[in-house]
A and B are shown apart, each in its own frame.
Chain A
Amino acid sequence: MKNTRTYKSALFRCATIQAGFWDGVVVDKQMIDTRGAADYWTSEFLQSNLKNTSAAGTKRVAVALQIALKDATDPAIQQELINASQLVLNRHGQVTSAKKIVQDLSLTQGAAAAIAKAFVRPTLYDSTFKFDREEFKACLVFRSVQLDNGVMLTAENASFDRVIDVTRTRNSEKTRFTTEGNIVSEKLRKSR
C-alpha cells in the first residue's frame, strides 16, 4: 500500500480453513487505466486467474446479446444491440465485463436492461473475463446476402436457415429467398 488512494488489496474468504479459498476479489487502485488489476500481481504474486476463462466469459456475453436481440421488440434497441455486437469485436484481449461493455459503448437504458436480463444470474452481468474476438464471432455472427436486384437480407447466422427459406428457381440461375414475420420496423435510409 503506497497511500490510502493508491493501493492493491485482495480478499479471499472461506468458512473453514480445511477447504476453500477458491475465489476472492481484488482491487488495484495503482492501475492508471481501466484494464483491471495488474497481471504480475494477480497471476504471479497471488497465483490466481480470472474466475471465467476467456472463452466462457465471451460466449456468455454473446449468448446474452443473442437472447436480448431475440426478445427485443423495439427496433431502436434491436439496432443498438446489432451495432454493439459489431463494436465489441474491437475489445479483443481486454479484461472486461458485460456491464463495462454496455457502459463503454454508452448503450441506452433499454438496451442495457435487455442485456442484463439475459444473464442466468444477475452477478454474471458484472463478472470479468478477457474478451476473445474469435469466440465471440463463433457464437454470434450475422449473415447478410445482397442480391443483384438491390435487396439485402440480414439475419443472425445461427437462425438464418431456419427463418429464411432458400431455393434455386427451376431453369434459372436465380435464388429465391422466402421468409415471414411481423413487421417491427420500416423506415427509409439514405445508405445501406
Chain B
Amino acid sequence: MTKSLKDLYRQRYEKVLLPIAGDLEEILTDHLKSGPHIDRITVRAKTPKSFLAKAATREKGALKYKDPLGEIQDQLGARIVVFYTSDVRPISRSVTKYFRHIEMLNKEPKSESEFGYFGKHFILALPEDAIPRRVKLEAAPKVFELQVRTLYQHAWSEASHDIGYKPGRKLKKVQKRNFALTAAQSWGADRIFQELHKALRKKNA
C-alpha cells in the first residue's frame, strides 16, 4: 500500500527536515555572523499542517502542485532579520557569496500606492554540510527558502500572518484599510530609523 502524502511528509519532517534545520541554522550563523545589525537568524522546518495546506492550494480549479514533495520549496525556511533597510544589501551579498542562489526576488506590493508585505526572498541550493550524516543525501530537499527582512517588515508580517491575512482573502473595506495602514506605518518607521541611523552614524564617526 502506498503511503499518503501526509504520512510521507510527516516522516520527512521528523527524520530529515528537523535535523537539517538545526545544522543549517548553525551554518548560516557562521557565514553571516560578521554582518551588520543582525537581530536573528532562524531556520524552521515547515510543519506537516502548513505543508498539507499549501499542497492543497488550487489554481484555476486544479491542484497547483502536482508533486508537492518536490515542488514546494520552503520545506526548509530560513529567515534573517536585520535592524535597518540598508543592512539588507550587504547581508544579501554575503548570502550569495556562500550559497548558490537559484532565485532572488524583492517582494513588494504591485502598485506604488499600495502597502503590504516587503522582503527579499531567495531560493538557495541546500549545502551538503547542512545534512547530518544520519540523513541520506537523496532524502534531503535540494533547495531551501531564505527571507531577509527588517524588524518592522518582520513584525508586520508575523502579526498579519497570525491574524490570518493573505493577499486575495475577502475582507471588509475597513479591514483592508487597517492592514494597509499598519503596513504603511511599518514602512514609515523603517524609513525614519534608516534616516536616523545614517545621520547619527555620520555624527558619531
Tell me the A residues contacting B by CB distance below 8 Å: 14-16, 18-20, 22-23, 49-53, 55-56, 59-60, 120-121, 123-124, 127
Are A56 and B71 touching (Cβ within 8 A)? no
Taken residue by residue from 16 to 46, chain B's Cβ proximity to chain A (1 for < 8 Å, 0 otherwise) reads as: 0000000000000001000000000000000
Taken residue by residue from 63 to 74, chain B's Cβ proximity to chain A (1 for < 8 Å, 0 otherwise) reads as: 001110011000
Are B102 and A22 touching (Cβ within 8 A)? yes
Known: A19-B71, A124-B129. A53 touches B97 (CB 8 A): yes
Complex alpha-carbon distance, A16 and B70, angstroms: 8
Nearest 9 CB-CB pairings of A with B? A19-B70, A22-B142, A19-B71, A18-B67, A16-B67, A56-B98, A120-B129, A55-B97, A18-B66
Are B128 and A121 touching (Cβ within 8 A)? yes
Complex alpha-carbon distance, A60 and B99, angstroms: 12
- Chain B residues with CB under 8 Å of A15's CB are 70
Are B142 and A120 touching (Cβ within 8 A)? no
Are B129 and A60 touching (Cβ within 8 A)? yes
The reply on B192 being an interface residue by CB < 8 A is: no
Complex alpha-carbon distance, A87 and B143, angstroms: 35
Are A20 and B98 touching (Cβ within 8 A)? no
Are B70 and A121 touching (Cβ within 8 A)? no
The residue in chain B whose Cβ has the minimal distance to the Cβ of A20 is B70
Are B128 and A22 touching (Cβ within 8 A)? no
The residue in chain A whose Cβ has the minimal distance to the Cβ of B97 is A55
- Chain B residues with CB under 8 Å of A55's CB are 97-98
A-B contact pairs, 12 of them (CB 8 A): A14-B70, A16-B67, A18-B65, A18-B67, A22-B102, A52-B127, A53-B96, A55-B97, A55-B98, A121-B129, A123-B128, A127-B128
CB distance from A65 to the nearest CB of B (A): 15
